Structure 1
């Protein structure tokens, strides 16, 4: 045995660890007990794929039961059965008493993309008699990848790409179906040339509210409203009528009102808006709705009514933390219920109606399930899916800092030292930039940071203007201005950490980012030569061509206030490609082959320009991969991508001046 004093120090995160990370989510508590169902996303290297395991954890047993691969949708109102869906779209009901499943219905999923907050949920009626689910009317007339000719006469003709999706969307519409929970023949409640999603039952089980875009040009006009349908007469009633988008309705326990998320914007988008989502309340009979969280001034998601109807619980990000809050429906007072350093992504109330089960991660720990006890006086961790391998790792904490940017705006960032940090030695520094542009960095587990830290780099990550979590004015900071104030925020943040930390080497800087972070990486190398290397992952380079080729063509309208042909000069002004001739920084471009969110052509345009300008550059295409937020990459693609990123920085950042 090696004496303790001679043992090698623990390593940080390496690419071989990525497949070990088990991602926990989607907790559902029984309405009648503390029985819990949730899922765990597991990487399978042999098949180079991920599967979601449906896990049942009974209150009176420490043993976990795996119900299968797929996702759980709902408990029966009496807590004796679970509605779940297999990976092939089959709906099944699992009975706790006999531990058997029975087939209920086949659900079909369209490849048409609604928006990031659309919920294709399956729900149990409060009286326990019916299951409502969303399914596409697959007819066989969808676009085929094998046809010699394709004809397009709509605007949203592309899928998101990746994850085994075809490149082009089918022509199927998604509608609401109901079926007896005991089994039987499904009945279609909604028909026609519109899509429905995000359903919620009325407490009396007579109506279902839902979201639909029923404008004259739903592919072009990103507007949506709350509707309801009578399950007996199939009568559909429009409840809201406004300029903007609505999301995720949920019926009040007394049946009088419906709460939902909304934004009120002239130019909507199927991507994320600059406008923060807020809770709106409307009578179940329709009429004018009103916002009840505008004074809170933070972006809101994940609504849950308290069973007594006095409060609505929700999630919101604030200065890098995502916490559970609640709003008093009567006086609109908002208070934090469960927070602290970390990011809560999902939660549910327990049967006592006073405590929670929630999903939370922090800088050094992937997401796990926790529960509060005695009205949040205590917190207990339920799952420990990553505990064994984490014990063998040395993961650095990231410390937050604030600085004043070029115009005296206060901006927040974080600095993570390398695993082998030695204050007497100079360390290279990598700037990592988030996507969006309205995402938020913070106290969340990000694999890139730890991989770079283990590779010997300090990592700085910043929430520049445009990020959410700092109020609406800050979130609006990139409107009509991609690469202006946000670029200056990032450069000011880099200057600040270099001034405050003498152990950082200002001559060994690198920059990387994904999606909008990839755009900003491309932009940065056209504005400055201070970075020795850049890695643009799924980034934009030409906003003009993006506006005509991306699934999110409406994003350019939402961010720049008009059609691309009306804002051509402005879009070209903020396109990295416009200044590609000024680049000297060695730049690696990583991109998914079937990415329709940020098309592969965006990387091609930048690559060709840099190559012709004589810049050291390389383009890596990941076959069959889309945009997909890098956690969705296949296991081997994810490992390869991060390996190439680190190797590029090792080659050009760590090299001495003479070597370059």
Structure 2
């Protein structure tokens, strides 16, 4: 190894591997490599929409890391390049301060790209940019839109889809893409001439993926709501959406699916927080247990999407609450940036005030039977919460973080994620790293804790759970560690079916036994 950016969750060791462009005739034959060098097409995370053909088929525009890659810059800078179809004339078009994640050529000759300028780090939104392919000048299409393009939704029934954003109309006057708005992922259309936009889908569902005919007259979407699993829907022109698949009807017909109630509240500093709760049917004498779910990210959202884990818990008689506290996607740049360098502060307050709010309502909840759980950042916040309060009687921390100092050196993203999100560097800001690490507060942790972690997780490495587990065992606390072999950070979403089922069983049993 001679570089820090050598591994990627879900891919494994990258070592000297690079992603490059090859062309192959549709009639077959040997592929011809067009690009080569110590840099990667698609950027450090190998984005899907990493290249596009020019309308005349003579050029390929593509995204790439700097040449040569630098450990720091390669993780924070992706520009647009162009190469002729025979491999000649390669040149960089843009000198962008951040990272582009998609590029398409418009029939007008200009380029449209999706990218984050990283003005406030990862809290800054993904925007739509208009680019001159000759000069490299770039301008945001909707500079006043304080929302992030793309899918920020977190759930456990999603699956990889080919990203179609942005779609461009044949005359180059319109573009379509998905935008995360509050608790939904919506499809929007932008008028590139007037720089205005309109929503194509409602705010009570999310669009997981979509595609359309070249003229945009017909499109197909994968839609889901809090009570419906993903299915295909077809829309002709401005007509009404029509569902065309029924893959999950038989499954849902045999199960009781409980809708969520919207329970927004005003935080102690006056901010309005969106929250929801699934309440089991009927009333139980003495009240029902409540599990607080915390999403990952932190720049992600809960909302209008089916969540299998939530339905499983509510089906077992437990209420499940979920919200979008400070740090979440979908509510603007300042909202997402509010936690940078301040993990465990306003975000923690928002979550605790969410519980307080729910207990103040007439929902039949038992304040003595509270649980908490989450994954990734949600696992971090679960660890943080039980180190700062004893109100929870059971906790489940999945693929979480306990020690920011070791995370910096072992995670595939640690060395560039930490300075942005935690603040500073472990050798120059050791007190900041200790203050924000849940492990620092381990002596205050009394809540029975189930740790769920994957052995091939390179995002939040296994050692994060091992450290917390060992510390708590030495203190004589109730803790259990479930290790999943051959799985990555994506266990809950794309793990093998048997291990995903085992994960759900462990969560259910842990909460049932203690709540």
TM-score, scaled to structure 2: 0.92
Q: 2:278 aligns to what?
A: 416
Q: 1:258 aligns to what?
A: 111
Alpha-carbon separation, structure 2, partners of 1:433 and 1:599: 19
Q: Which of 379, 394, 403 in structure 2 is aligned with 1:533?
A: 394
Q: What pairs up with 1:219-238 in 2 under 5 angstroms?
A: 219-221=71-73, 222=75, 223-232=77-86, 234-238=88-92
1:331 maps to 2:184:
no
Q: What pairs up with 1:337-486 in 2 under 5 angstroms?
A: 337-350=200-213, 353-373=216-236, 375-418=237-280, 420-422=281-283, 426-486=287-347
Q: 2:385 aligns to what?
A: 524
Q: CA deviation at 1:282?
A: 0.4
Q: CA deviation at 1:531?
A: 0.3
Alpha-carbon separation, structure 2, partners of 1:297 and 1:562: 27
1:196 maps to 2:41:
yes
Q: Deviations over 1:327-351 (max 9, x none)?
A: 1112211211222411102212235
Alpha-carbon separation, structure 2, partners of 1:360 and 1:473: 29
Alpha-carbon separation, structure 1, partners of 2:131 and 2:254: 52
Q: 2:361 aligns to what?
A: 500
Alpha-carbon separation, structure 2, partners of 1:584 and 1:289: 53
Residue 304 of structure 1 contacts residue 314 of structure 1 at CA under 8 Å; is this kept in 2?
Answer: yes
Q: What pairs up with 1:153-172 in 2 under 5 angstroms?
A: 153-161=2-10, 167-172=12-17
Q: Give the total of aligned pairs.
A: 491
Alpha-carbon separation, structure 1, partners of 2:265 and 2:70: 43
Q: Which of 60, 72, 79 in structure 2 is aligned with 1:208?
A: 60
Gaps of 5+ in 2: 43-49, 151-164
Q: CA deviation at 1:453?
A: 0.6
Alpha-carbon separation, structure 2, partners of 1:217 and 1:267: 23
The farther-off stretch of 486-495 and 612-621 is: 612-621
Q: Deviations over 1:311-332 (max 9, x none)?
A: 1101011121111111111221
Q: CA deviation at 1:266?
A: 6.4
SS in 2 for 1:440: coil
Alpha-carbon separation, structure 2, partners of 1:199 and 1:332: 25
Residue 39 of structure 2 contacts residue 68 of structure 2 at CA under 8 Å; is this kept in 1?
Answer: no
Q: 1:315 aligns to what?
A: 178
Instruction: Assess, with a 3 A threshold, how the Cα gap between structure 1 residues 513 and 485 changes in structure 2: closer, same or farther.
Output: same
Structure (1/2) with the larger strand percentage: 1
Q: CA deviation at 1:551?
A: 0.3
Alpha-carbon separation, structure 2, partners of 1:501 and 1:468: 30
Q: CA deviation at 1:567?
A: 3.0
Alpha-carbon separation, structure 1, partners of 2:133 and 2:261: 47
Alpha-carbon separation, structure 1, partners of 2:389 and 2:26: 62
Alpha-carbon separation, structure 1, partners of 2:339 and 2:302: 16
Residue 526 of structure 1 contacts residue 576 of structure 1 at CA under 8 Å; is this kept in 2?
Answer: yes
Alpha-carbon separation, structure 1, partners of 2:224 and 2:86: 44
Residue 296 of structure 1 contacts residue 334 of structure 1 at CA under 8 Å; is this kept in 2?
Answer: no
Q: CA deviation at 1:267?
A: 8.5
TM-score, scaled to structure 1: 0.72
Alpha-carbon separation, structure 2, partners of 1:226 and 1:347: 24
Alpha-carbon separation, structure 2, partners of 1:316 and 1:568: 38
Q: Which of 183, 186, 191 in structure 1 is aligned with 2:28?
A: 183
Q: CA deviation at 1:294?
A: 2.6
Residue 169 of structure 2 contacts residue 215 of structure 2 at CA under 8 Å; is this kept in 1?
Answer: no
User: What's the RMSD between the two structures over aligned residues?
Assistant: 1.6
1:601 maps to 2:455:
no
Q: Deviations over 1:11-36 (max 9, x none)?
A: xxxxxxxxxxxxxxxxxxxxxxxxxx
